Chains A and B, each alone.
Chain A
Amino acid sequence: MTCEAWQTKLDAYADAELPAETMRSMAEHLSGCPACTAELVQIIQQKRVTALAGKRYSAPPELRARIRQQIEAKPARGGWQWALGLALAAVVVIGLGLAIVLPSRTAARNRLIAGVVDSHITALASASPVDVVSTDRHTVKPWFAGKLPFTFNLPELGGSPFTLDGGRMVYLDSRPGAHLIYGVRKHHLSVFILQDGGDFSRLLPTAAEPWRSLSFNVTSWSAGGLRYFVVSDAAPEDVSALAELLKRAN
C-alpha cells in the first residue's frame, strides 16, 4: 500500500477503529514513515484539544430539575408498590453507577497513558528530541538540578544493552518532570519521572504493570513519592529490563 493510501486511514487508526490486521500493518508502516507518524501525532493532539474545548456548554440546573419532574410525573401509588418501585430504582441506579464509574476510570487511565505515549512520539518526531545530549548519566542528571522540585538516580548501564541518549524537560498531567531517552538496538525508549499524586496515584498502580497503547509498550510504577513511566516500540522484555534497572538505582 502506498503512503497516500495509509494517510486516508490515519484518523480511523487514531480512533482504534481499523480491523486488528490493518491496525498491525499500520503500526509497521508508521515505524518506518516519519511523515505519517507526524500526521498521526497531529490528529491525536487535535483529538485531545477537541475533547476539552468541545465540553463548552453547561445546562442550567433548573432544566435538570424540570426534566426529572417530567419523568417522575406519575400518580402516587400504594405503600408496598411505592417501596418496590424505589427498591427497583435503587438497584438500577447502583448497577448503572458501577457501569459508568468503571469504564470512565478505564477511559481516564487510557487517556493518561495516551498522553504519555504522545510525549514519547512528539519528542522522537522533533528535530532535537533531547535538550541535554550526553551518554553520561553524571552529565544528564545534574542538568535537571534546579529545574525540578525532586531528584532521582539514573542506572549504571554497563553490561546492559541500553545506551543513554540524553534528556529534556516534560509536562505531563500539568506537572513538570524529567524525560530521558534511551536506545536499545534500533529502538528508542522514553523514561518519564514525575512527582506522584493526583490522577497518577488515583488511576495507576503502584507496582509495575505493562500496557499496550497505539502499539507501544508502556509500564508505570511508583516508588519513593515519584511516578515512573517507560514507553517504547521495543519488545516488552526491553521495557521491563530498563524498568528493573531504574528500580534498582532508586
Chain B
Amino acid sequence: MPDVGKNAEFEALALPLFDSLYNFAHWLAQDRHDAEDLVQETYAKALKGFGSFRPGTNFRAWMFKILRNTFLTSRTGLSSSHTEPLEPGDEDRVLPVTSHTPETLVITQDLGEALQQAIEALPLASREVLLLADVEEMSYHDIAEALSIPIGTVMSRLARARKAARQKLIESGYARKKGTVARQ
C-alpha cells in the first residue's frame, strides 16, 4: 500500500522537475512520443525506487540519472548508442590546442535555431553533457552523478562538445574566424 507521506514528498520533489526532464528526454529521444513514454517511465521507476534515494544527495541528478538509464535501455537509446562511434581516449584527455584566432558568433535571429541543429547533430555523449551543463546549469559534480562518469571526463567531454557545436556553427556560417566574412 502506498505511503501517503512518502508519495507527497516524492511529488513535491519530483513534479517541479517535470519540464526540465521532458525537455531533456525529447533532446535524447528526438521524438515526442518516445519522450513522453520516457518521462512517464522515469517517474514510475523513481517513485518505486524513492525508498533507496539517500536524503542529502542531489535529487535532481538522481532523477536525470534514472531518465538517462531508462533511455539507454530503450529501443531508441540502444540503437543510438550502437550506431555512434566510440570516442577515443575519453578520460581526462588534454584537448587539442585551438588556434589563436577565436571565432566570433554572429548574433542573428536564427542563431538559436542553428545552434539547436548543431546540438541535435552532436553524438549522444556530447549532447547530454552539453544540455546538463548549459541548459540545466548543473555542476560538474551533479553531471558526473547523473551520467555515472568521473568529473575529469565531464570536463573534457563538455569542452569538446562546446567546441564541436561551435565548429558546426562555423560550418553553417553563424560564426566566423576573425577577419573572414560570414553569411548574414
Contacts and interface: CB of A to CB of B under 8 A. Distances in A.
A166 to B, nearest CB: 22
Q: Which of B1, B5, B18, B159 lies at the interface centre, i.e. has the most chain A CB atoms within 10 A of its CB?
A: B159
Contacts of A75: 1-2
Please classify the interface of chain A as helix (H, G, I), strand (E, B), loop, or mixed, using the class held by over half of its residues.
helix
B10 A59 contact: no
A49 B111 contact: yes
Given A50-B134, A64-B18, A89 B102 contact: no
Interface in B26-46: 26-27, 32, 35-36, 39-40, 43-44
Contacts of A102: none
Interface stretch (A92-100, A146-154, A173-181): A92-100
Interface in A8-60: 8, 10-12, 15, 17, 35, 38-39, 41-43, 45-47, 49-60
Please classify the interface of chain B as helix (H, G, I), strand (E, B), loop, or mixed, using the class held by over half of its residues.
helix
Interface stretch (B61-69, B70-78, B80-88, B92-100): B92-100
Contacts of A237: none
A1 interface: no
Contacts of B10: 71
Given A7-B98, A17-B139, A67-B43, A42 B8 contact: no
Given A53-B115, A67-B15, A93-B12, A59 B155 contact: no
Chain A interface bracket (under 10, 10 to 19, 20 to 34, 35 or more): 35 or more
Contacts of A88: 4-5, 8-9
A46 B140 CA distance: 18
A57 B40 contact: no
A59 B39 contact: yes
Given A43-B162, A46-B165, A92 B9 contact: yes
28 contacts: A4-B97, A7-B98, A8-B95, A8-B159, A11-B159, A12-B159, A15-B133, A35-B102, A42-B105, A46-B165, A50-B134, A53-B115, A54-B27, A54-B131, A55-B135, A57-B32, A59-B36, A63-B36, A63-B39, A64-B15, A67-B43, A71-B14, A75-B1, A85-B8, A88-B8, A89-B12, A92-B9, A96-B13
Interface of A: 4, 7-8, 10-12, 15, 17, 35, 38-39, 41-43, 45-47, 49-60, 63-64, 66-68, 70-75, 77, 81-82, 85-86, 88-89, 92-93, 96, 100, 107
